[in-house]
Structure 1
Amino acid sequence: MAWRQMLFHTNSSSILVPFSTAGFARFSTKSNPYLVKVGIPEFLNGIGNGVESHVAKLESEIGDFQKLLVTRTLRLKKLGVPCKHRKLILKYTHKYRLGLWRPRAQPIKA
């Protein structure tokens, strides 16, 4: 009932102001120190779980990272990627397109 009142009664006293502050992170308290340029190898290494073993195959057949983001499961199956790895690749490509996940930047080891 309270939501209905807030949504349908739009007088000047019930206008909602969204919470916004410039100093706070929106979704996460941790931030990446720098952004990594994302290609197929960086993306698959970021997924982990053995998916990085398909880097050479996917780079030679698909070629571009933007094409990997729209690749379907049948194409990956024809390339010989096992089911578990296909599921992981498709799950993380969907998250990447929505902006919910990015591969972590690996610190340079000296």
Structure 2
Amino acid sequence: MFAKDSGLLQGTLELLVLKTLSWGPMHGYGIASWIETATGDVLRVEEGSLYPALYRMTRKGWITGAWGTSENNRKAKFYALTPDGRREYQEQTTGWQRFAAAVNQAVTSTTAPSWAR
């Protein structure tokens, strides 16, 4: 599950997309590339996961999409955060930090459960 080429844990893709777009508008390939680079090549976002997430997030009003020209002169859809998306990013970031801290606390615990004593 946590191998180098593992997929994204359920529920993290939207947060990672929101984080990527917090830097500014970007097309799908750029979003996937940034996530891969930012995670030290541990997480890969496949097209079959990314584009449904982008469509879902657009329907929720968190992002908008507009056609433009990519850095290699190709037509691409660029996604950007909306004000609702920025609020959602803040909420999800807070929730993720609490979740990650709780999991870390559990996996580093040196106190055995009462039934294991």
TM above 0.5, yes or no, is no
Give the TM-score normalised by the residue count of structure 1. 0.28
Give the TM-score normalised by the residue count of structure 2. 0.27
